[in-house]
Amino acid sequence: MSQQYQHDVLIIGSGAAGLTLALTLPTHLRIAVLSKGELANGSTYWAQGGVAAVLDDADTVESHVADTLNAGGGLCSEAAVRFTVEHSRAAIDWLIEQGVPFTRDDEEPREDGGFEFHLTREGGHSHRRIIHAADATGAAIFNTLLAEAKKRPNIELLEQLVAVDLITERKLGLPGKRCLGAYVLSRQTGEVDTYGARFTALACGGAAKVYLYTSNPDGACGDGIAMAWRAGCRVGNLEFNQFHPTCLYHPQAKSFLVTEALRGEGALLKLPNGQRFMQRFDPRAELAPRDIVARAIDHEMKRLGIDCVYLDISHKPAEFVKAHFPTVYERCLTFGIDITTQQIPVVPAAHYTCGGVLVDQAGRSDIPGLYAIGETSFTGLHGANRMASNSLLECFVYARSAAADICQQLSDVSAPPTLPGWDASQVTDSDEDVIIAHNWDELRRFMWDYVGIVRTNKRLQRAEHRVRLLLDEIDEFYSNYKVSRDLIELRNLAQVAELMIRSAMQRRESRGLHYTLDYPEQLSEARDTILVPPTYAD
């Protein structure tokens, strides 16, 4: 039997952005934080690198802004970059207040009053400005924020709940456009329940699972982007999908990312014969931005017909490696690779979705009452290429900004009316789940082959043709059978894939993460790619 629930704020997603929003909102609000699996299944938990912020006296806001604009290929919104960087110190101070155990430089506080935490450097950064917790920063942040959220009686942390679609006034035939909540599948009961809310926030992560090889956990299916698009929100810059250059290449290693911080501390990329190659592609060599490094690896793999390249930090003292990268050291050791003496086999893998749902500096989408924060959103911060460790910073800054905006509206927004329940009267149980598995596999394979690191018009046309056929098949299946997590994710993945392909076809140049052999040059004027849904209206 379907259930009805009512909250002040409904947060779909339990990662850095979602938990930060929940913890920053007033304690008198009733808040629900939904996770479609276990709470720790999102990308935040697995983030190894750290959080970029202006923390050292030798660093400046202007330098961080300049580095971000440079990495973004001329497409960043300078206003969004400056807003994020200017609020970086406050976000880090808040995390420290929550108890995040960032790695310290010294056991004792510095006598000169300087910043006492260890800062590292990553690709694209001109200064050491990455605050981290060894090489498991995401886990440290997530565990700390989750522990704090569990202390708050006003925050409900709910697992095994899969959002199906947003509920809007327009969808219900009411005057206005406001978001009123969401329909949510309970994986425990199999029923679709109704969650009404005064405010709804999409903090669902990105869509890297649309590709065959990815560093992301299984849940990164573009759910928030797809739901927002269907509800009437514009999306932007979805052609820019960042491929992390160094994912562990091993038949038993599923999606294990080898942190970029290794290269920041001196690790070198090498061919099977032991030769370095990055200096042939960029004067910054291993410290070049991720798109350049990923394309260089892709080029060498195709040129030589090899399965992988190698990342080598064995020239550093063993104790240094173990102390700075315990997670990578231990994980590689389980596969028989001792990184203090051996090279790490690596390949590029889909890692981060730079585009997403259009929002302003308060995280507000085109639909009143609906926010998008974190990787689900398109703030303008990343431009054509995300700079390392800016993404976690974006989660904290925009979640805190969204919380402040919600607080300003509390007196003006009442609880939504009683919402109609989910109608499952016309559907039956599926006896053809093999179709879901087949379509899922086909989608991810042609996205990898045709819409990957290097693109062409012909490849994109083939991808567009296939995705439209798939969308028709999925819509027919969705209309006739009861929903499941697999079906919901496939529907969302196919929708976001179609948006990615359309965005890539509109960009007739090579810029940042979008590289096409048909238009290898960069245009003089940088423009965002904005897609407008049929249901959008100002």
Tokens 């989660």 belong to residue: 395
Give the CATH number of the domain where residue 335 resides. Answer: 3.90.700.10
Residue 419 placed within a domain: no
Least confident of 23-32, 248-257, 348-357: 248-257
* Res. 538: pLDDT tops 60: no
319 lies in the same domain as 361: no
Residue 17 placed within a domain: yes
Least confident of 405-419, 426-440, 464-478: 426-440
233 lies in the same domain as 180: yes
Least confident of 196-200, 365-369, 477-481: 477-481
318 lies in the same domain as 223: no
Question: Cβ distance 115 to 55 under 8 Å?
Answer: yes
| pLDDT at residue number 263 | 94
Q: Domain count of the chain?
A: 3
254 lies in the same domain as 372: no
Residue 325 placed within a domain: yes
250 lies in the same domain as 232: no
| pLDDT at residue number 114 | 55
Instruction: Classify 63 as helix, strand or coil.
Output: helix
123 lies in the same domain as 219: yes
Give the CATH number of the domain where residue 450 resides. Answer: 1.20.58.100
**DSSP code of 376?**
G
21 lies in the same domain as 98: yes
Question: Cβ distance 43 to 392 under 8 Å?
Answer: no
Q: Which of 82, 230, 263, 290 is catalytic?
A: 290
Average pLDDT over residues 498-516: 96
Average pLDDT over residues 349-378: 97
Known active-site residue 295: no
| pLDDT at residue number 107 | 45
**249 HSE (CA, 13 A, CB side):** 18
Structural domain including 480 reads: 434-521
Tokens 């598995």 belong to residue: 437
Tokens coding 377: 């959103």
Q: Which of 333, 348, 363 is the last residue of a domain?
A: 348
Residue 296 placed within a domain: yes
* Res. 370: pLDDT tops 90: yes
Residue 538 placed within a domain: no
CA distances from 479 to 2, 191, 518 (A): 19, 16, 39
Question: Cβ distance 355 to 514 under 8 Å?
Answer: no
C-alpha–C-alpha distance, residues 486 and 102, integer Å: 37
Give the CATH number of the domain where residue 369 resides. Answer: 3.50.50.60
| pLDDT at residue number 100 | 95
369 lies in the same domain as 342: no
Q: Which of 327, 348, 369 is the last residue of a domain?
A: 348
Report the run of H or E that residue 531 belongs to, with start and end. Answer: strand 530-531
Question: Cβ distance 452 to 233 under 8 Å?
Answer: no
378 lies in the same domain as 250: no
Average pLDDT in the chain: 92
- Beta-carbon count within 10 A of 446 CB: 21
Report the run of H or E that residue 94 belongs to, with start and end. Answer: helix 88-98
Average pLDDT over residues 235-252: 92
Residue 526 placed within a domain: no
CA distances from 452 to 112, 158, 264, 291, 351 (A): 49, 35, 26, 12, 12
Q: Which residue, among 475, 450, 48, 458, has the nearest Cα to 212 in the 3D structure?
A: 450
Counts of helices then strands in the chain (DSSP H, E) = 15, 18
CB neighbours of 103 closer than 8 A, spacing ≥ 6?
117, 118, 132, 133, 134
Residue 427 placed within a domain: no
Beta bridge partners of 156: 32
Tokens coding 113: 């009053």
E strands along 377-514, which residues? 377-378
Instruction: Classify 244 as helix, strand or coil.
Output: strand
C-alpha–C-alpha distance, residues 268 and 312, integer Å: 5
200 lies in the same domain as 258: no
Beta bridge partners of 182: 166, 195
Residue 528 placed within a domain: no
61 lies in the same domain as 155: yes
147 lies in the same domain as 168: yes
